[in-house]
Amino acid sequence: MAPRPARPARAARTAALTALLLAAGTACAGTDKAPTAEVAQQSAARDRIGTLSVRTPQGPRACTASVVQSPGRNLLVTAAHCVQNRRVGLLDGLVFTPGYRNGYSPYGSWPVQSIIVDPRWADDADPEYDVAFVTVRPVDGRQVEDAVGGNPLATGQGFGLDVSVTGYPNERDEPITCSARTRSQSPTQERFDCGGYTDGTSGSPWLTPGGTVVGVIGGYEEGGNTPGTSYSITFDGRVSDLYRQATA
d(CA 216, CA 203): 5
pLDDT tens readout for residues 90-129: 999 999 999 999 999 999 999 999 999 999 999 999 999 9
HSE at residue 195, side-chain half, CA atoms within 13 A, is 12
Q: What is the CA radius of gyration of the chain?
A: 16
> How much is the pTM?
0.87
d(CA 191, CA 15): 32
Q: Which residues contact 241 (CB under 8 A, 6 or more apart)?
A: none
DSSP state of 56: S
pLDDT tens readout for residues 165-195: 999 999 999 999 999 999 999 999 999 999 9
Judged against a pLDDT cut of 70, whether residue 32 lies above it is answered with: no
CB distance 235 to 157 below 8 Å: yes
Query: CB count, 10 Å around CB of 247?
Result: 16
Beta bridge partners, 177, equal 38, 166
- What pLDDT sits at residue 64? 98
